[in-house]
Amino acid sequence: MKTDELIDLLARGPVAADPRAAGRTWGMAAALGAVCATVLVLLALGLRPDLAQAAHAPMFWGKAGFVAALALLALPLGRRLGRPGARAGLLAWAPALPVLALWALAFAALGSAAPQERAALVLGTTWAVCPVAIVVLSLPGFVLAMRAMARMAPTRLRAAGAVAGLLSGAIGATAYSLHCPEMAAPFLAVWYVGGVLAVAALGALLGPRVLRW
Amino acid sequence: MNRPDAADPTQREARLRAWLVAAQAGDARAYHRFLEALGALLRGFFRRRLARMPDEVEDLVQEALLAVHNQRHTYDAAQPLTPWVHAIARYKLVDMLRRHGRQALVTDPLDDEVEWLADPQPQAQEARRDLGRLLATLPDKQRLPIVHVKLEGLSVAETAQRTGLSESAVKIGVHRGLKALAARIRGSADEDR
């Protein structure tokens, strides 16, 4: 086929394309991922029994707010990475801010705690479950986010995969916070961040394979 | 192409952009002009970069045009066009070189966005890869919509009647078929050499 014939072919018939569709699909992936993760929490884990009291504690909202902020920062970042030639700029570093803030809180908490209490602050009572639960809860959103990213046109496949993982991991962690009894910043700084980063790493690993176009 | 005002890259960018925005809204004639002008620019861009692999240029022009078509919904009219096209061309060039394991053969730095609009090459060479043959390997529910709508110029409704597919299945068939074609190009390039 000659190039002129290819151009004729491509330009024939309906050629309209909605430039907002891909961004909508990406947003829908986040919303559906949040619904799936919340339903999974309700069915498989249950809300934490003391949710009514916990809702009065600032740290409960701090925890949910931290992971929700990560998801909200990953949303526009993913849209940029999905558009060829769009620069991520400062937005690329934005997800680091809540993490650094949490780590600062965690170091402050560890510094003011007695040495023999520090291990308990980091490990809590559920450290073995937490990151695994976050990864599992993230998986439906992860599949949706990777598919939505594949419908855009990322040129940095590893970064795009990582951000799809970051988005779904943060959503899974937000849902998990409805179940999770832990309230100590050092626990969150290690296990929540670890769970979310594991999903982001999975995305970075798969990105170059599944996001090619 | 040869009007005096067309030589100015800024104006060229503005015109290309207006055509693409019209195309996104459904204007097929504007889209044809866009693809023609873009093909010439891509040819100039790839020729400069592939001075030592001249036989690959036309295949890559076709591959990049197909990529621009398949991803045309990712262009945001609020953004300049040049970085968008440049990023796609660069992505396809790097992808092709990686497939061949020959990244070192790029003769020019890749990141110069400015000059790429300056040197259109309207004269097509012979493509080595035959897209028509690759098209024939697609499954019927993709191949038939492409043949009727995109090659013969039938309407979506006529194609639906002729093939027994629903109208939305025809549209999806065209869309997925052209994406599958791009995937076949990547696959066949792996096998060819």
- In tens, the pLDDT along B133-153 reads 999 999 999 999 999 999 999
Query: Which residues of chain B are within 8 Å of residue A78 when distances are taken between CB atoms?
Result: none
Last residue of a domain, one of B120, B150, B180: B120
The pLDDT > 70 percentage for chain A reads 100
Query: Which residues of chain B are within 8 Å of residue A85 when distances are taken between CB atoms?
Result: 79, 82-88
End-to-end CA distance of chain A: 21
Minimal C-alpha gap between A13 and chain B (Å) = 6
Minimal C-alpha gap between A80 and chain B (Å) = 10
* CATH number where B60 lies: 1.10.1740
Query: Which residues of chain A are within 8 Å of residue B24 when distances are taken between CB atoms?
Result: 16-19
Residue spans of chain B under pLDDT 70: 1-7, 102-117, 188-193
Do B109 and B128 reside in the same domain of the chain? no
Chosen from B19, B74, B86, B178 to mutate, greatest number of chain A CBs within 10 A: B74
pLDDT on residue B103: 58
Query: Which residues of chain A are within 8 Å of residue B72 when distances are taken between CB atoms?
Result: 17
Do B106 and B130 reside in the same domain of the chain? no
Please give the mean pLDDT across all residues of chain A: 94
Last residue of a domain, one of B120, B139, B157: B120
Distance CA A33, CA A41 (A): 12
| B2 assigned to some structural domain | no
In this predicted model, what pLDDT tens digit does every residue of A150-207 receive, in sequence order? Answer: 999 999 999 999 999 999 999 999 999 999 999 899 999 999 999 999 999 999 999 9
Do B36 and B114 reside in the same domain of the chain? yes
Mapping DSSP to helix (H, G, I), strand (E, B) and coil, where does residue B8 land?
coil
Do B13 and B104 reside in the same domain of the chain? yes
Distance CA A81, CA A146 (A): 12
Residue of A nearest to B76 (CA): A19
Tokens of B157: 């409704």
Do B19 and B72 reside in the same domain of the chain? yes
Distance CA A59, CA A42 (A): 21
End-to-end CA distance of chain B: 37
Last residue of a domain, one of B97, B120, B143: B120
Domain range for B110 is: 9-120
State the DSSP string of A83-100: STT---GGGGTTTHHHHH
Do B128 and B65 reside in the same domain of the chain? no
Do B21 and B116 reside in the same domain of the chain? yes
Is B74 in contact with A152 (Cβ distance < 8 A)? yes
| B159 assigned to some structural domain | yes
Tokens of B60: 């890559």
Q: Which residue has the tokens 């999903």?
A: A199
Domain tally for chain B?
2
In this predicted model, what pLDDT tens digit does every residue of A59-107 receive, in sequence order? Answer: 889 999 999 999 999 999 999 999 999 888 889 999 999 999 999 999 9
Distance CA A121, CA A109 (A): 8
Tokens of B185: 């190009």
| B1 assigned to some structural domain | no
pTM for this predicted structure: 0.90
Mapping DSSP to helix (H, G, I), strand (E, B) and coil, where does residue B126 land?
coil
Distance CA B43, CA B124 (A): 8
Q: Is it the case that residue A57 has pLDDT exceeding 50?
A: yes
In this predicted model, what pLDDT tens digit does every residue of A19-32 receive, in sequence order? Answer: 999 899 999 999 99
Is A6 in contact with B67 (Cβ distance < 8 A)? no
Range 61-90 of A in CB contact (< 8 A) with B: 82-86
Query: Which residues of chain A are within 8 Å of residue B28 when distances are taken between CB atoms?
Result: 11-15
Distance CA B183, CA B189 (A): 10
Domain ranges for chain A, please list them.
35-210
pLDDT on residue B112: 62
User: Count H helices, E strands: chain B?
Assistant: 8, 0
